[in-house]
């Protein structure tokens, strides 16, 4: 099927620069997507946007160019609950990609097992209203209880103003919970203010809750943008990410979010986005934790001697 991209869609950055930072051996890009190609893997009828295609080949080439070793591919809402593009990418990765799927509560044990075999290790619950229609919490809980025995975790995507309402649901989940993009704080507000303090409290009180320190390009209000060789991009986001890195060094992840769906202002140079990492993980030890040790524990536990619940 032929698809027309959403008007105004920004294509991902062509020919990104080579990062100046050399990533630690085995670094994991723990949040990225594949889109289509639509002709092979059609976008979901219920989607709220139609992206430009972003194939597994392009993702793996970017991985190598940027100096990452592995990817965690996250199901995006434009593919709905049809995980075929994701599973195809995982199966083509020679074990170097693992995935986070989106499933409905009537998924069968066989389907879950097949996804596990392909490399899926989590499901994503999306609460961002511009991206998805509402799903009742009981449905999500059913999914949570089905995937928990596999040792999978739950990735949640929401906006900071919705955390109070979602608090009880998140804290009642039976698995590790990974929050996308630091719970999308408003970075014009103070890092010690009420809004971000609530998120810090969530992680303080619940040791099963992790966070991705990703998407400065989405959260930043004042830049500077990761363009034209900028080595100190998105400085307004740094204090937020730095706070979580320092407080929870063994529960943070980072991902490029390539191909950066729905950005309206600019498309970052992914090489410079990788250079951003040293602003939030300033020591070799922190870089090792956020880029290697933490994602390996969560996504390739068998390689680092961790046993997943249920295995």
Whether 29 is catalytic is no
Catalytic residue among 29, 53, 180, 257: 257
Q: Does 55 bind ligand NQM (CB under 6 A)?
A: no
Q: Are 36 and 76 in contact (CB under 8 A)?
A: no
- Is the CB of 102 or the CB of 175 nearer to ligand NQM? 102
Backbone angles phi, psi at 79, to 5 degrees: -100, 0
Pair type for strands 209-212 and 153-157 = unpaired
Q: How far is the CB of 78 from ligand NQM (least distance, A)?
A: 6
Stretch in the footprint of ligand NQM (CB under 6 A) among 55-63, 75-83, 160-168, 244-252: 75-83
Please select the residue that binds ligand NQM; options are 96, 131, 148, 308, rule is CB under 6 A: 131
Q: Does 286 bind ligand NQM (CB under 6 A)?
A: no
Q: How far is the CB of 6 from ligand NQM (least distance, A)?
A: 11
Q: How far is the CB of 286 from ligand NQM (least distance, A)?
A: 23
Which 235-274 positions form the footprint of ligand NQM (CB under 6 A)?
Answer: 257, 261-262
Q: Does 202 bind ligand NQM (CB under 6 A)?
A: no
Backbone angles phi, psi at 210, to 5 degrees: -115, 170
Lookup: tokens for 311: 């295995």
Q: Hey, which bits of the chain come out as E strands? A: 28-32, 70-74, 97-101, 120-126, 153-157, 177-179, 209-212, 252-253
Q: How many residues bind ligand NQM (CB under 6 A)?
A: 11
Q: Does 12 bind ligand NQM (CB under 6 A)?
A: no
In sequence order, what are the beta bridge partners of 124? 155
Q: How far is the CB of 203 from ligand NQM (least distance, A)?
A: 19
- Residue 190, CB half-sphere, CA atoms under 13 Å: how many? 3
Cis peptide before 232 (omega within 30 of 0): no
DSSP 44: P
Active-site residues: which are they?
Answer: 257
Site of interaction with ligand NQM (CB under 6 A): 33, 76-78, 126, 131, 157, 180, 257, 261-262
């Amino acid at each position: 099927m032929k698809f027309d991209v959403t008007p105004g869609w920004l294509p991902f950055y062509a020919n990104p620069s080579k990062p100046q930072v050399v990533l630690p051996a085995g670094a994991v890009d723990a949040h990225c997507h594949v889109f289509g190609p639509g002709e092979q893997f059609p976008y979901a009828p219920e989607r709220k946007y139609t992206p430009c295609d972003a194939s597994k080949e392009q993702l793996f080439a970017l991985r190598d160019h940027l100096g990452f070793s592995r990817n965690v591919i996250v199901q995006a809402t434009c593919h709905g609950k049809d995980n075929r593009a994701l599973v195809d990418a995982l199966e083509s990765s020679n074990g170097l990609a693992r995935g986070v799927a989106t499933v409905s509560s009537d998924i069968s044990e066989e389907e879950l097992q097949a996804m596990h075999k392909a490399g899926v290790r989590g499901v994503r619950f999306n609460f961002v209203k511009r991206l998805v229609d509402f799903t009742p919490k009981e449905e999500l809980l059913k999914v949570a209880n089905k995937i928990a025995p596999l040792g999978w975790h739950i990735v949640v995507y929401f906006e900071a103003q919705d955390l109070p309402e979602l608090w009880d649901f998140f804290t009642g989940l039976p698995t590790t919970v990974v929050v996308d993009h630091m719970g999308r704080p408003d970075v014009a507000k103070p890092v010690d203010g009420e809004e971000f303090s609530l998120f810090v409290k969530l992680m303080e009180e619940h040791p099963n809750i992790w966070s991705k320190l990703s998407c400065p390009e989405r959260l930043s209000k004042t830049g500077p943008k990761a363009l034209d060789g900028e080595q100190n991009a998105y400085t307004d986001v740094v204090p937020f990410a730095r706070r979580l890195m320092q407080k929870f060094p063994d529960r943070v992840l980072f991902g490029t979010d390539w191909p950066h769906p729905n950005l309206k202002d600019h498309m970052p140079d992914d090489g410079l986005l990788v250079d951003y990492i040293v602003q939030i993980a300033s020591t070799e030890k922190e870089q090792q934790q956020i880029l290697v040790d933490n994602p390996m524990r969560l996504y390739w536990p068998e390689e680092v001697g961790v046993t997943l619940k249920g295995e």
